[in-house]
C-alpha cells in the first residue's frame, strides 16, 4: 500500500479526532523516521517528547522483548517484581519520597489534582468541596473532562459540559497574578515549567522560583507538569531545575517509556501522597511489570548516555544555527534569560 491508500483507509474507518499531516510513517530509528515511500525525516518533535531517547532505542526494545516474554500484566491486585524497583529508582533519581504509577499523561495530571484536593481537605483544612486549583492561560494538561475545564482552547470544551468546578486561570509567567488569585481555599498551583501547546513558551527568568515562594508562603502545593518538558528535554532532568525549583508534586510521562509503552507517574512527598488510601485511586495497568521494566531502562538510558547534557549541547548549537537563517518560518529567537526561545 502507498501513502494514499493508508490515508484513505484511516479516513474511512478511523475517528476524525486528529488531523495529521499526510505523511505515513513506517519506520523509526534514533532521530530519523521513514515513510512508506522510503522518504526520510529528521524528527525534531520527538513524538511530543515521548522519544527523547530516540525512536526504537535498542536497549529499551530489548528490555521490552525480554519482559513481554516473562510477564506483561498482573493488575495491582497482586505485587510484581518490577514495580518496586522502578519506584525505588525513580525516587532515588529525582529526590522525591513517593511515586504513584499511571499510564497516560492526562491520568497523571488527574492523579495530581485528586491528591491536591484531598491534601487540601485533610492537611490544609479547607472546607469540604471548596478546594480551588489555579492554572495558567496557554496551558495543555490533557483532554479529560476535568482537564478541559481549565483549558484556554474553546474547542476542547465545546460540547463537553457541564464542566468541573474548582479551577481558575491566570496569565502564564505573571507571579503577581498568582499571588492575587490565591485564597484560603487554594489547594494547588498547576503549571508547565515550559508550555508546549501553542509553540514553545518559556516564562520570564525567575518566574518559577517566585511562584514557588508564593506557594510556600500561602501553604499551596506547587505542581509541575513535566510530562512534556521533563526527563532531559531541556538539558535538565526536570525543566524547573533551571531555576533550582523543587515542585511539591511532579507529573511525568512520555519519555518515561522512551515511546515504547504508555507509562506515567506522579512524584511527591509522603505528606501529599499518603492522603490516598487503598481504593481511592488506581488503574488496571498502572505499575504493570512490562511498563515498569521499560520505564526502568528508559531512565537508565537518559542517565547512562548523558542525554540531559546532550540536549543542552545540541540545543544551543541548533538555536545558534537557526538564528542565522533568514526565514519567515522562524518568528523570533530570544535566549532563556529573555523569556521565549523559539517557535
Taking phi over 0 as left and psi of -120 to 50 as alpha, with beta for the rest, 173 belongs to left
Nearest by Cα to 124 from 114, 112, 116:
116
Instruction: Dig out the grid coordinates for 162 from the structure.
Output: 457541564
Q: Are strands 249-252 and 221-225 parallel, antiparallel or unpaired?
A: parallel
Q: What stretches of the chain show up as alpha helix (H) in DSSP?
A: 3-13, 46-49, 58-70, 83-94, 105-119, 145-149, 154-157, 175-181, 207-217, 270-273, 289-304, 307-323
Residue 246: how many CB atoms within 10 A of its CB? 14
Which residues are catalytically annotated?
140, 225, 254
Q: Are strands 221-225 and 186-191 parallel, antiparallel or unpaired?
A: parallel
Specify whether the CB–CB gap between 251 and 107 falls below 8 A.
no
Instruction: Dig out the grid coordinates for 327 from the structure.
Output: 526565514
Specify whether the CB–CB gap between 75 and 284 falls below 8 A.
yes
Q: Are strands 40-42 and 186-191 parallel, antiparallel or unpaired?
A: unpaired
DSSP string, 262-302: --EEEEE-HHHHTT--TTSS--SSTT-HHHHHHHHHHHHHH
Nearest by Cα to 194 from 62, 342, 58, 83:
342
Residue 310: how many CB atoms within 10 A of its CB? 14
Amino acid at each position: 500500500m502507498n501513502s494514499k491508500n493508508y490515508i484513505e483507509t484511516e479516513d474511512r474507518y478511523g475517528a476524525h479526532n486528529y488531523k495529521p499531516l499526510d505523511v505515513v510513517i513506517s519506520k523509526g530509528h534514533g532521530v530519523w523516521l521513514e515513510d512508506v515511500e522510503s522518504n526520510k525525516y529528521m524528527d525534531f518533535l520527538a513524538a511530543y517528547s515521548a522519544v527523547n531517547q530516540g525512536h526504537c532505542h535498542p536497549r529499551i526494545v530489548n528490555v521490552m522483548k525480554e519482559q513481554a516474554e516473562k510477564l506483561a500484566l498482573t493488575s495491582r491486585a497482586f505485587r510484581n517484581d518490577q514495580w518496586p524497583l522502578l519506584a525505588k529508582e525513580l525516587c532515588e533519581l529525582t529526590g522525591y519520597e513517593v511515586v504513584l504509577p499511571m499510564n497516560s499523561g492526562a491520568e497523571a495530571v488527574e492523579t495530581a489534582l485528586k491528591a491536591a484536593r484531598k491534601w487540601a481537605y485533610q492537611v490544609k483544612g479547607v472546607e469540604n468541596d471548596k478546594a480551588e486549583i489555579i492554572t495558567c492561560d496557554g496551558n495543555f494538561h490533557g483532554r479529560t473532562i476535568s482537564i478541559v475545564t481549565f483549558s484556554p482552547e474553546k474547542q476542547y470544551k465545546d460540547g463537553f459540559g457541564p464542566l468541573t468546578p474548582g479551577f481558575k486561570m491566570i496569565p502564564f509567567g505573571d507571579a503577581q497574578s498568582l499571588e492575587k488569585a490565591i485564597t484560603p481555599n487554594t489547594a494547588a498551583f498547576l503549571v508547565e515549567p515550559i508550555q508546549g501547546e501553542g509553540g514553545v513558551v518559556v516564562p520570564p527568568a525567575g518566574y518559577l522560583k517566585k511562584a514557588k515562594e508564593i506557594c510556600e508562603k500561602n501553604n499551596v502545593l506547587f505542581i509541575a507538569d513535566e510530562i512534556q518538558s521533563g526527563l532531559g528535554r531541556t538539558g535538565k532532568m526536570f525543566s524547573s531545575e533551571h531555576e533550582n525549583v523543587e515542585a511539591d508534586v511532579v507529573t511525568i510521562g512520555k519519555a518515561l517509556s522512551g515511546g515504547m509503552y504508555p507509562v506515567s507517574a506522579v512524584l511527591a512527598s509522603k505528606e501529599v501522597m499518603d492522603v490516598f488510601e487503598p481504593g481511592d485511586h488506581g488503574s488496571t495497568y498502572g505499575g504493570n511489570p512490562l511498563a515498569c521494566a521499560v520505564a526502568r531502562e528508559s531512565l537508565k538510558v537518559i542517565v547512562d548516555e548523558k542525554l540531559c547534557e546532550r540536549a543542552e549541547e545540541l540545543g544551543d548549537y541548533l538555536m545558534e544555527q537557526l538564528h542565522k537563517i533568514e526565514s519567515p518560518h522562524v518568528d523570533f529567537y530570544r535566549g532563556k534569560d529573555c523569556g521565549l526561545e523559539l517557535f
